[in-house]
Amino acid sequence: MPHTLTIHELTTQLAARQLTAREATQACLDRITAVDENLNAFISHDAQDALAQAAAADAAIANGASHDEQPLLGVPIAIKDVIAVKNQPLTCGSKILGDFISPYEATVIGKLRDAGATIFGRLNMDEFAMGSSTENSAFGPARNPWDQERISGGSSGGSAVAVAVDECIAALGSDTGGSIRQPAAHCGCVGLKPTYGRVSRFGLVAYASSLDQIGTLTKDTRDAATMLNVISGHDPRDSTSIQRDVPDYASGFGENLKGLKIGLPREYQAAGLDPEVRDSVDAAIKQLGELGAEVREISLPHTEYAVATYYIIATAEASANLARFEGVRYGARVEGSDPESMNRATRGAGFGEEVKRRIILGTYVLSSGYYDAYYLRAQKVRTLIREDFLKAFEEVDIIASPTSPTAAFKIGEKAGDPLQMYLSDIYTISANLASICGISVPCGFTSGNLPIGLQLLGRPFGEGKILQAAHTYEQATDWHTKRPTIN
Amino acid sequence: MEIDLQHVVKLARIDLTPDEEARIRPQVEEILKYVEKLGELDVSDVEPTAHAVPLTNVMREDEIQPSLSHDDAMRNAPKKSNGLFVVPKIVE
């Protein structure tokens, strides 16, 4: 059952010649055939291309290539359909890109290839990463493997499902307001959003440029560290990527948590937090305390303004970024008698309703007469939110909370009420506004057997610290080893 | 909170069906009403955050580097002719 392995288990077996990369990739492809018709984690996948890459990895291993040099050699990794892989389709979960084939490759994909990974599959997502449930995909929702009547989370829902049910060994996602952490929590896997600037976004289709970040979905924290080691670093092709050394993110693993200070935001005990989620997260925090961490209450006074701030900034940036889909240079087109009517018809037919709603909202808040009242004010409140976090991080090393206020909700439950959907992002969006890092790890189940996620937020470039704490917790628990039964 | 949806839709260049318009208008108005809560804060002395990491202009030598070929750049165009994008007639 090679598809059920983690990166570190698989590479150990590959190195020991107990298994071939081809067998590992074939096992993932077989798993997709067996379960994905219902789960809908993949929009498409190119089996032949995947097996050819795996065969090349086997040849490299036979010629003496080592996992010290190439830590992902022979590891099948699936990609959210918003990151460009050369000569593969790129849909962003939308109809508007038509049969677009990517003519170039994202920097993160090049890094994964250099590390020996087998890159395969296009993972389902909310259209242009706008959503918290994957219900906004033009290709239908990715279903939660623990209860297929429920959402997988979003926007990287396909990535979380594929990892949770072993259709791949690990996956890439993107996180603009929680889009990696929330689906990881809902599906029971590990989701890591690195600090803004840590990972190059060249080749990531932009949604909200000041918030977007590529990150990982994995079966455990060691794999998250391995993936982050590979994809991090400065890229001259992304001017927002930071010139800063990449440490070994697993270097703190095995050390105890003595002296680690964990803060609990007073403001996060708000109405709407499900009691079962609260109890699981409280138990996890108690356990972190028993493992040596000091736990104390902190305050993030501007928490109640985060959702409003996010939905102004994100939609404004989206309205500008998505102007490029106009029916001229790529994608689908609906003809019109003049360029403007062609643009309008193309965008009207090509975008789904949530994308239209956000572009309209973003266009409005940027329009003449409203810019200062909405966009500029939101950017100022963003400063206050960021300052809350930086001040809190003078007192504590890590901030702990639930990842999401509830477990996965039913498909369709919030679809008619976008504001309610937005409010469910309360614990995750602040990390993007403050440009810090965060991770979600499994920490329990509801009485209905739905996974619950514990979120740990860290200082800018503090990924090593949150990974260390998450790993220590993981070693003391077995939540991350639970797998759904697929019927 | 009433918005001039026709004006915004024209700026955004998105055709909406009458059904979509009927659904989206109250939703957008509800969200705008919700975000009014930012008005509770005094931000007169606060600097706006555009990017939360310090960014400086990135320069490189003005040298020709490999880039997408013309064919690759054109290959996803919905309508093209002689290596050019084709659009509806703009001038008479």
Residue A80 bears catalytic tag? yes
Check residue A116 and give left, alpha or beta (phi > 0: left; psi -120 to 50: alpha).
Answer: left
Can you say whether the dihedral through the CA atoms of B20, B21, B26, B30 is positive or negative? positive
Preceding peptide of A404 cis, ω within 30°: no
Quick check: B90 and A345 CB within 8 A? Answer: no
Can you say whether the dihedral through the CA atoms of A403, A406, A412, A418 is positive or negative? negative
How far does B69 lie from chain A, in Å, by closest CA? 9
Task: Write the CA distances from A290 to A93, A159, A258, A477, A480, integer angstroms.
Answer: 43, 33, 10, 13, 19
Residue A487: the pLDDT is: 66
For residue A101, the chain B residues in CB contact (below 8 A) are 75-76
Instruction: In whole angstroms, give the CA distance from residue A433 to residue A353.
Output: 25
Per-residue pLDDT of chain A in tens (487 residues, 90 and over written 9): 899 999 999 999 999 999 999 999 999 999 999 999 999 999 999 999 999 999 999 999 999 999 999 999 999 999 999 999 999 999 999 999 999 999 999 999 999 999 999 999 999 999 999 999 999 999 999 999 999 999 999 999 999 999 999 999 999 999 999 999 999 999 999 999 999 999 999 999 999 999 999 999 999 999 999 999 999 999 999 989 998 999 999 999 999 999 999 999 999 987 789 999 999 999 999 999 999 999 999 999 999 999 999 999 999 999 999 999 999 999 999 999 999 999 999 999 999 999 999 999 999 999 989 999 999 999 999 999 999 999 999 999 999 999 999 999 999 999 888 888 888 899 999 999 999 999 999 999 999 999 999 999 999 999 999 999 999 999 999 999 999 998 6
How many residues does the structure list for chain B? 92
Residue A367: the pLDDT is: 94
Torsion angle defined by CA atoms of residues A306, A307, A310 and A314, in that order, rounded to the nearest 10 degrees: 170
The residues near A182 (Cβ < 8 Å, ≥ 6 apart) are A132, A153, A154, A191, A403, A404, A425, A428, A440, A453
Provide φ and ψ at A194, rounded to 5°: -70, 165
B49 pLDDT more than 70: yes
Torsion angle defined by CA atoms of residues A225, A230, A235 and A241, in that order, rounded to the nearest 10 degrees: -10
Provide φ and ψ at A90, rounded to 5°: -145, 110
Which single residue is written with the structure tokens 């996974």?
A451
ipTM metric: 0.95
- What the block records as the tokens of A437 is 């890092």
How far does A347 lie from chain B, in Å, by closest CA? 5
DSSP state of A189: S
Provide φ and ψ at A374, rounded to 5°: -110, -70
Task: Write the CA distances from A239 to A174, A210, A245, A484, integer angstroms.
Answer: 18, 12, 16, 41
How far does A449 lie from chain B, in Å, by closest CA? 33
Task: Write the CA distances from A108 to A6, A73, A84, A475, B19, integer angstroms.
Answer: 20, 15, 9, 29, 41
B32 at interface of A, judged by CB pairs closer than 8 A: yes
Domain annotation for chain A: domains and CATH numbers: 2-262+394-481 (3.90.1300.10)
DSSP state of A241: S
Selecting from B5, B8, B79 the residue whose C-beta is nearest the C-beta of A333 gives B79
- What the block records as the tokens of A228 is 């982050």
Provide φ and ψ at A460, rounded to 5°: -50, 130
Residue type, A333: R
Residue B1: the pLDDT is: 66
B91 at interface of A, judged by CB pairs closer than 8 A: no
Q: A410, A470, A481: which is closest to A445 by C-alpha?
A: A481
Burial of residue A482 (CB within 10 Å: 0-12, 13-18, 19+) is middle
Do B25 and B5 form a contact (C-beta atoms < 8 A)? Answer: yes
